[in-house]
Structure 1
Amino acid sequence: MYEQIAWLPLCAGVTAAGLVLGFLAFRRRGAAAGMRMTAWALLPVAAYLTGALQALWTIGATAVGFVTGLVLNPLVWAGVAVTGLAAVLFVVSGVLRGRKLSVGRKKKAPAEGPAIQPSANKPGAAAKPQPAVAAQKERKGDDDFSDIEDLLKRRGIS
């Protein structure tokens, strides 16, 4: 099909029409608009002379063939539906996993650890409060970094 079209006269005609429009743009809207229109007008001839026109034709024909094959083929639509189902399943599984992780963190992560520790030597002996809990009870201020400081202290970072 590409060989059946006389490309040189077609490209030369489009370029000539663009040059006329570029001249009119130059007179009405100034030099910048005229030069921009002239640049666009020269592209068809440049595409023909460099051989890019045939590459563009091949790309366009392939894209049109793909789209018509997609639109008219029910098997392809089944593939599109399966792809959509897979995407929905990925999203839903991510949401469910995120909920599971957030619920697991709430259950597993105590705020400051146990408040009392039984004595290792004597079962049932009196318990002593942990130093981190005692320090938290002594601190009265509610500054913005208190939670971060507590986290760092629990991790052994000071």
Structure 2
Amino acid sequence: MIAETVCSAVAAVGLGIAVVTAYRKRYLAAARIAAYSLVPLGLVMTGIVEWLADTAFSPTAWAGFAVLGGAWALFATTRAVERRRGGTRKERRAAARSARAEAVAPAASAPSLGQSGSRPASGPAAAPRATGGSGGSDDFSDIEAILKKHGI
């Protein structure tokens, strides 16, 4: 009841200001003020103000907003945890399968780089990597093999 009274008073004051503005021969501004002041009156007449007032002062409505906020917080937290873990369980399984498939691929593509598959892992090329030494020539041997493969 009080919300309707306040909106009606705002509309009346706005229309009064529009009349004063029109008296000063600022008709465009007066029309704009009149349009703004008629909006609260229209909201009162359609019943929206009463519905909003009933909703604003209803404990049940506020409890509903609290439940919606809690649901939103749960969605946000689960999404954050899912991002930290690397996706859903289904996505993690698919990533593990692709990782296993990629683990097979380097051995399959090693002969195309110019390395023979029959060479032992402790051969001369693997020795500097295992010791962690400078291995300057070994670092470039991989690059040279790739360049030779492409004919450069």
TM-score range, shorter chain: 0.3 to 0.5
Structure with greater helix percent:
2
Higher relative contact order (CA 8 A, sep 6+): 2
